[in-house]
Amino acid sequence: VICKLCPLSPPPAKYGGRHTVTLIPGDGIGPELLNHVREVFRFTCVPVDFEVVNVNSALETDDDMNNAITAIRRNGVALKGNIETKHTLPASVKSRNNVLRTSLDLYANVMHCQSLPGVQTRHKNIDIMIIRENTEGEYSSLEHESVSGVVESLKIITRNNSLRIADYAFKLARERGRRRVTAVHKANIMKLGDGLFLQCCREVASGYPEITFDSMIVDNTTMQLVSKPQQFDVMVMPNLYGNVVSNVCAGLVGGPGLVPGANYGHVYAVFETATRNTGKSIAEKNIANPTAMLLASCLMLDHLKLNDYASVIRNAVLTTMNETRLHTADLGGQGTTLEVVQSVMRVIQILRRIRMHVADLPS
């Protein structure tokens, strides 16, 4: 591929204009989808080099994870597939994905759920931003069996982390011109824990008078989401409710194959599909939907300030989505992963040609 077709003026970057990003293939459909991302990046001449770090989910030792975490610390940014949590391993082996998030303090999980024009769904006009606390809550992994047959699992809510995530949510809402932030909780039952979370949200809300703040109990939230999802704008919540709400919303806009997810910390950022599925049953069959992973890679490019590349790839992906005959099985079609990726690259080619012609026109 001749790189004179690439966009002009490379953005500021480390080490000679190229970024190094950690790539964790993970299990299931992760490896094949990430390979496609690399293909598309190569085709588009994206100035990103991937440092691949494999994590073997079948091993009990932490060496693989430690390597991965070190690599991400070094590079600052990662793109990953989901790492399977094998139930055959003892309970002391925690979910690797969770370990990654907590070690790197990726405290905000951000997911933007939007109805896509080319995808048929029961509900239309959905545009919800979900901000989920990503490090504590029910995912604290603090469990013990004090008496035989009685297990206690601790859910930790702290003022610091609740303030932090609420702050993130409101800042993001303000940045994107969003009008309303809804805190999702179960403070009627978990009075102290979720009560603290809610209180922190209220405190932060008082500093953003232009944004409406309200709250909703999680069970009512899911009920509202399946009947009238258009009422929601930005939602902020602790870890587990975030898991539920983000999966419900992903399902509402068309499924796990479409929505990208991002995990942000103060220092590091890791990008993946929003619903974090391993997709074991469809792995290596050329039927997985590459959209979510490709869009996640675009989010990563935005984070690296390579916005032009991000736009080109994103436009190509969304244009391809409009083509019903290319829809993969999860969208009810018969398209293959490869067909989708090839279409994306074709559209990128066309977009670049248009850009070149526009650049060549006399001013």
145 is a contact residue toward other proteins (CB under 8 A): yes
Neighbours of 61 (CB within 10 A): 9
Instruction: Report in angstroms how near the CB of residue 339 gets to other proteins at its nearest.
Output: 22
CA distance 64 to 84: 13
Which positions from 92 through 131 interact with other proteins, judged by CB under 8 A? 93-95, 98, 122-123
CA distance 183 to 123: 22
CA distance 214 to 232: 11
Write b or e for each residue in 129-146: b if 16 or more Cβ atoms lie within 10 A of its Cβ, otherwise e: bbbbbbbbbbbbeeeeee
Q: Which CB atom, from 151 or from 354, has the smaller least distance to other proteins? A: 151
Of 3, 8, 150, 358, the one binding other proteins (CB under 8 A) is 150
Region of residue 94 (phi > 0: left; psi between -120 and 50: alpha; otherwise: beta): beta
Which positions from 171 through 200 interact with other proteins, judged by CB under 8 A? 186, 189-193, 196
Of 224, 336, 342, 349, the one binding other proteins (CB under 8 A) is 224
Neighbours of 192 (CB within 10 A): 9
Stretch that binds other proteins, among 174-182, 206-214, 224-232, 288-296 (CB under 8 A): 224-232
CA distance 4 to 353: 11
Q: Which CB atom, from 12 or from 149, has the smaller least distance to other proteins? A: 149
Instruction: Report in angstroms how near the CB of residue 257 gets to other proteins at its nearest.
Output: 11
Stretch that binds other proteins, among 48-56, 99-107, 138-146, 207-215 (CB under 8 A): 138-146
Q: Which CB atom, from 248 or from 351, has the smaller least distance to other proteins? A: 248
Stretch that binds other proteins, among 44-52, 110-118, 244-252, 286-294 (CB under 8 A): 244-252
Q: Are strands 108-114 and 127-133 parallel, antiparallel or unpaired?
A: antiparallel
Q: Which CB atom, from 94 or from 346, has the smaller least distance to other proteins? A: 94
262 is a contact residue toward other proteins (CB under 8 A): no
222 is a contact residue toward other proteins (CB under 8 A): yes
Single out the residue of 113, 46, 37, 35 nearest to residue 291, CA to CA: 37
Phi, psi of 179 (to 5 degrees): -95, -30
Token couple for 65: 């994870």
- The sign of the dihedral angle between the CA atoms of 100, 234, 159, 267 is positive
Write the DSSP string, 307-345. HHHHHHHHHHHHHHHT-GGG--GGGT----HHHHHHHHH
Q: Which CB atom, from 6 or from 240, has the smaller least distance to other proteins? A: 240
Of 41, 139, 170, 264, the one binding other proteins (CB under 8 A) is 139
One-letter-per-residue 3-state SS of 187-244: CCCCCCHHHHHHHHHHHHHCCCCCCEEEEEEHHHHHHHHHHCHHHCCEEEECHHHHHH
Instruction: Report in angstroms how near the CB of residue 335 gets to other proteins at its nearest.
Output: 18
Task: Tell me how many residues contact other proteins (CB under 8 A).
Answer: 58
Of 156, 283, 329, 338, the one binding other proteins (CB under 8 A) is 156
289 is a contact residue toward other proteins (CB under 8 A): no
Of 155, 171, 174, 352, the one binding other proteins (CB under 8 A) is 155
Write b or e for each residue in 67-106: b if 16 or more Cβ atoms lie within 10 A of its Cβ, otherwise e: ebbebbeebbbbbbbbbbeeeeeeeebbebbbbbbbbbeb
333 is a contact residue toward other proteins (CB under 8 A): no
Q: Which CB atom, from 187 or from 304, has the smaller least distance to other proteins? A: 187
Instruction: Report in angstroms how near the CB of residue 166 gets to other proteins at its nearest.
Output: 14
Q: Which CB atom, from 31 or from 238, has the smaller least distance to other proteins? A: 238
Residue owning tokens 């244009």:
319
Binding residues for other proteins, per CB under 8 A?
A: 85, 87, 91, 93-95, 98, 122-123, 138-139, 141, 143-145, 148-160, 186, 189-193, 196, 218-220, 222-227, 240, 243-244, 246-248, 250-252, 255-256, 275-277
